[in-house]
Structure 1
Amino acid sequence: MTSPLEAPLAWMTSIKAKLGVVVLGSVVAGLGGGTFLLLQGFRMRYSLVIAVVVSLVVIQVLARGVTAPLREMAAAAGRMARGEHGVRVSPAGRDEVGQLAAAFNSMAAELERTDAQRRRLVADASHELRTPLTALQAQLENLADGVTEPDPAALEVALAQTQRLSRLVAQLLDLSRLEAGEVPLHRRRVLVADLLESAAAEARAQCAALGRDVAVVVESPPELPLDADPERIAQVLANLLDNATRHAPPGSTVHVVGRAEGSRAVVLEVLDAGPGVDPADRERVFDRFARTDSSRSRAAGQTGGSGLGLAIVKWVVDLHGGSVHIADPDDSPAALQPSGGCRVVVTLPI
Structure 2
Amino acid sequence: MSAGDRVGGGRIVDRLPRPLDPFRSFKVKTGLLVVAALFLASLMFWVTARWPFRYALALAMLVSLAVTQILAHGMTSPLREMTAAARAMATGDYSRRVRSTSRDEIGELARAFNSMAEDLEAADRYRRELIGNVSHELRTPISALSALLENVVDGVEEPDPARMQVALDQTERLGRLVAELLDLSRLEEGAVQLDRERFPVRDFLEDVVRQAVGPAGPRRVQVNVQPSGLCVDADVARLHQAVTNLVDNALRHGSARTQVVVRGRPAPEKGGVIIEVEDDGPGISPGERSRVFERFTRGGSTDGGTGLGLAIARWAVELHDGSIEVVDTVRGCCIRVTLPAG
Does the TM-score normalized on the shorter chain lie above 0.5?
yes
Q: How far apart are 1:134 and its partner, in Å?
A: 1.1
Query: 2:282 aligns to what?
Result: 275
Q: Return the letter of the residue paired with 2:91.
A: R
1:72 equivalenced with 2:81 (yes/no): yes
- The question of whether the paired residues in 1 share the 8 Å contact of 2:264 and 2:276 is answered with yes
Q: Provide the rounded CA distance (Å) in 2 between the counterparts of 1:289 and 1:151.
A: 33
- The question of whether the paired residues in 1 share the 8 Å contact of 2:251 and 2:279 is answered with yes
- The question of whether the paired residues in 2 share the 8 Å contact of 1:214 and 1:245 is answered with no
- The question of whether the paired residues in 2 share the 8 Å contact of 1:207 and 1:245 is answered with no
Query: 1:145 aligns to what?
Result: 154
Deviations 1:300-344 (A, max 9, x none): xxx3210000000000000011111111123xxxxxxxxx21111
Aligned partner of 1:341 among 325, 332, 336 = 332
Q: Provide the rounded CA distance (Å) in 2 between the counterparts of 1:160 and 1:286.
A: 25
1:251 equivalenced with 2:257 (yes/no): yes
Q: Return the letter of the residue paired with 1:283.
A: S
- The question of whether the paired residues in 2 share the 8 Å contact of 1:203 and 1:216 is answered with no
Q: Provide the rounded CA distance (Å) in 1 between the counterparts of 2:216 and 2:171.
A: 18
Q: How far apart are 1:251 and its partner, in Å?
A: 1.7
Given the superposition, is the C-alpha separation of residues 243 and 5 from structure 1 closer, same or farther in structure 2, using an over 3 Å criterion? Answer: closer
Deviates more, 1:263-272 or 1:158-167: 263-272
- The question of whether the paired residues in 2 share the 8 Å contact of 1:254 and 1:273 is answered with yes
Q: Return the letter of the residue paired with 1:25.
A: A
Structure 1: unaligned runs, 5 residues or longer: 331-339
Deviations 1:175-209 (A, max 9, x none): 0110000011111111111111111112221772x
1:196 equivalenced with 2:205 (yes/no): yes
Q: Provide the rounded CA distance (Å) in 2 between the counterparts of 1:284 and 1:50.
A: 66
Aligned partner of 2:222 among 217, 224, 230 = 217
Please identify which structure carries the higher helix content: 1
Q: How far apart are 1:223 and its partner, in Å?
A: 2.0
SS in 1 for 2:257: coil
Q: How does 1:33-48 map to 2 (within 5 A)?
A: 33-34=44-45, 39-42=50-53
Q: How far apart are 1:147 and its partner, in Å?
A: 1.5
Q: Return the letter of the residue paired with 1:313.
A: A
Q: Return the letter of the residue paired with 1:264.
A: G
Query: 1:312 aligns to what?
Result: 312
Q: Provide the rounded CA distance (Å) in 2 between the counterparts of 1:70 and 1:315.
A: 38
Q: How far apart are 1:60 and its partner, in Å?
A: 3.0
Q: CA RMSD in A?
A: 2.7
SS in 2 for 1:285: coil
SS in 1 for 2:214: helix
- The question of whether the paired residues in 1 share the 8 Å contact of 2:251 and 2:260 is answered with yes
Q: Provide the rounded CA distance (Å) in 2 between the counterparts of 1:8 and 1:159.
A: 67
Q: Return the letter of the residue paired with 1:326.
A: V
Query: 1:177 aligns to what?
Result: 186
Aligned partner of 2:41 among 4, 18, 30 = 30
- The question of whether the paired residues in 2 share the 8 Å contact of 1:86 and 1:108 is answered with yes
Q: Provide the rounded CA distance (Å) in 1 between the counterparts of 2:158 and 2:271.
A: 59
Deviates more, 1:245-254 or 1:56-65: 56-65
Q: Provide the rounded CA distance (Å) in 2 between the counterparts of 1:96 and 1:247.
A: 55
Deviating 4+ runs (over 6 angstroms): 2-5, 46-50
Q: Provide the rounded CA distance (Å) in 2 between the counterparts of 1:6 and 1:321.
A: 46
- The question of whether the paired residues in 2 share the 8 Å contact of 1:214 and 1:250 is answered with no
TM-score (norm 1): 0.84
Deviates more, 1:250-259 or 1:112-121: 112-121
Q: Return the letter of the residue paired with 2:336.
A: V
Structure 2: unaligned runs, 5 residues or longer: 6-13
Deviates more, 1:28-37 or 1:273-282: 28-37
TM-score (norm 2): 0.86
Q: Provide the rounded CA distance (Å) in 2 between the counterparts of 1:268 and 1:5.
A: 54
Query: 1:334 aligns to what?
Result: none
Q: How far apart are 1:218 and its partner, in Å?
A: 1.1
Q: How far apart are 1:39 and its partner, in Å?
A: 4.5
Percent identity for Structure 1 against Structure 2: 48
Q: Return the letter of the residue paired with 1:215.
A: R
Q: Return the letter of the residue paired with 2:203.
A: D
Q: Provide the rounded CA distance (Å) in 2 between the counterparts of 1:120 and 1:287.
A: 12
